[in-house]
């Protein structure tokens, strides 16, 4: 349960509550709260003087539950994430590969009005024998390009060993699908103030996915974005299966912004525009789309990246759709 604490509480009593109910005390927005597991559904009488208000839950989805806070929103640059009206477009290559590739892509996107640049430097590859990313050099390159074009940068941390570098350089820290369960990353991100984009592991239920976000939220960082990027099903004709039912569930029951990544879900460029428009029409808070100057030569995820023309066409149709679906493209 979540107990919103009174402005003045007896510190010794609070400490006893923490010990007896395994409660964690943190500041969430304007409120100082204590969070216990969801098995606690009522505050024991001896602790009642601590409580201003409290919320009980059926599961350990608590800080992300919309009955506690209807909507979490926050600003990144000049965009508000999660305001219920804006859909942010994040685009860029799967991996930073070279200065030329990163700058050409950023220039093209900036020319269209895209404000958020993506690119991986620490790639979580399925095989150890494929391109693993440029590491710190790639991160610095992406930062330089983002600064040059006045864009916000999102880049992923593969594991906790380089999390500090990613926190320092990126404006949004991406936790990839395979790292969704990495508690070293989740705990480090809970302790920082930067926005986090948490991707759903392809084998994770919605419960497990959101509980991953609860690790960051309960660490004291309320700036968490969920990203649906496809789950594994019996289907093999597409890379993964985009769970738009899960997106609808998240919109209805949770307070976290939800983004959709059609590129990794589909695995093939041809399906990315349709999936982007479908997700946009659903009113997602953001789209994460892979774009590369020459997709066929990409060092990772070559089959799913859009080339510049394909992305321009898609972006134009999103602009046309925006008024019809009541969204503002950011």
- Which residues would be at the binding site for ligand PEP (CB under 6 A)? 94, 120, 124, 176-178, 199, 229, 264
**Could you tell me the smallest distance in angstroms from the CB atom of residue 85 to ligand PEP?**
26
Q: Which is nearer to Mn ion, 28 or 301 (CB)?
A: 301
β 51-55/2-5 pair status = antiparallel
Distance in angstroms (rounded) separating the CA atoms of residues 43 and 36: 10
Q: Which is nearer to Mn ion, 94 or 265 (CB)?
A: 94
Q: Which is nearer to ligand PEP, 118 or 277 (CB)?
A: 118
Distance in angstroms (rounded) separating the CA atoms of residues 230 and 242: 4
Q: Tell me which residues in 264-323 interact with Mn ion (CB under 5 A).
A: 301
Q: Which is nearer to ligand PEP, 176 or 246 (CB)?
A: 176
Q: Which is nearer to Mn ion, 51 or 310 (CB)?
A: 310
**Could you tell me the smallest distance in angstroms from the CB atom of residue 25 to Mn ion?**
39
**Could you tell me the smallest distance in angstroms from the CB atom of residue 70 to ligand PEP?**
28
HSE-CB of 289 using CA atoms within 13 angstroms: 32
Q: Which is nearer to Mn ion, 192 or 314 (CB)?
A: 314
Non-local (6+) Cβ contacts of 127 within 8 A are none
- Supply the DSSP string of 227-252, one letter for each residue: EE--B--S--SSSSB--HHHHHHHHH
Structure tokens at 117: 């640049």
Closest to 167 in 3D by CA, of 110, 131, 122, 208: 122
Q: Which is nearer to ligand PEP, 69 or 170 (CB)?
A: 170
Distance in angstroms (rounded) separating the CA atoms of residues 309 and 294: 11
**Could you tell me the smallest distance in angstroms from the CB atom of residue 104 to ligand PEP?**
18
**Could you tell me the smallest distance in angstroms from the CB atom of residue 178 to ligand PEP?**
6
Distance in angstroms (rounded) separating the CA atoms of residues 166 and 194: 10
Stretch that binds Mn ion, among 88-96, 138-146, 169-177, 183-191 (CB under 5 A): 88-96
**By the 8 A CB rule, do 145 and 155 touch?**
no
By CB under 5 A, residue 94 contacts Mn ion: yes
Number of amino acids touching Mn ion (CB under 5 A): 2
By CB under 5 A, residue 26 contacts Mn ion: no
Strand ranges in the chain using DSSP code E only, listed in sequence order: 2-5, 24-28, 31-35, 51-55, 74-76, 79-81, 86-92, 116-118, 152-157, 172-175, 196-199, 224-228, 258-260, 286-290, 328-329
Stretch that binds Mn ion, among 43-51, 90-98, 147-155, 266-274 (CB under 5 A): 90-98
**Could you tell me the smallest distance in angstroms from the CB atom of residue 136 to ligand PEP?**
18
Q: Which does 16 bind (CB under 5 to 8 A by kind): ligand PEP, Mn ion, none?
A: none
Q: Which does 72 bind (CB under 5 to 8 A by kind): Mn ion, ligand PEP, none?
A: none
First to last CA, the chain: 36
Neighbour-count burial for 150-183, b at 16+ CB within 10 Å, e otherwise: ebbbbbbbbebebbebbbebbbbbbbbbbbbbbe
- For the window 109-148, what string marks contact with Mn ion as x by the rule CB under 5 A? ----------------------------------------
Q: Which is nearer to ligand PEP, 14 or 177 (CB)?
A: 177
Which spans of this chain sit near Mn ion (rule: CB under 5 A)? Answer: 94, 301
């Amino acid at each position: 349960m979540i107990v919103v604490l009174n402005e003045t509480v007896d510190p010794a009593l609070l400490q006893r509550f923490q010990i007896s109910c395994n409660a964690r005390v943190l500041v969430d927005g304007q409120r100082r709260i204590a969070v216990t597991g969801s098995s606690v559904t009522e505050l024991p009488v001896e602790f009642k003087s601590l409580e201003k208000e409290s919320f009980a839950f059926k599961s350990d989805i608590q800080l992300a539950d919309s009955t506690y806070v209807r909507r979490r929103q926050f600003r990144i640059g000049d965009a508000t994430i999660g305001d219920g009206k804006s859909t942010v477009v994040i685009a860029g290559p799967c991996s930073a590969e070279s200065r030329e590739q990163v700058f050409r892509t950023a220039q093209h996107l900036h020319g269209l009005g895209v404000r958020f640049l993506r690119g991986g430097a620490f790639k979580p590859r399925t095989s150890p024998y494929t391109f693993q990313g440029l590491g710190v050099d790639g991160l610095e390159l992406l930062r330089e390009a983002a600064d040059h074009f006045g864009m916000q940068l999102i880049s992923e941390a593969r594991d906790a060993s380089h999390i500090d570098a990613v926190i320092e350089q990126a404006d949004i820290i991406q936790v990839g699908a395979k790292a969704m369960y990495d508690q070293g990353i989740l705990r480090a991100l809970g302790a920082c103030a930067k926005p986090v984009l948490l991707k759903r592991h392809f084998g994770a239920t919605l419960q497990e996915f959101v509980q991953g976000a609860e690790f960051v939220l309960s660490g004291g960082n309320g700036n968490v974005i969920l990203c649906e990027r496809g789950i594994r099903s019996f289907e093999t004709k597409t890379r993964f299966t985009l769970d738009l039912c899960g997106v609808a569930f998240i919109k209805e029951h949770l307070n976290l912004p939800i983004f959709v990544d059609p590129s990794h879900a589909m695995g093939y460029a041809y399906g990315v525009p349709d999936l982007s428009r479908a997700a946009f029409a659903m009113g997602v808070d953001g789209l994460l789309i892979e774009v590369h100057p020459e997709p066929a030569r990409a060092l990772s995820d070559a089959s799913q990246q859009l080339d510049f023309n394909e992305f321009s066409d898609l972006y134009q149709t999103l602009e046309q759709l925006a008024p019809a679906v009541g969204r503002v493209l950011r």
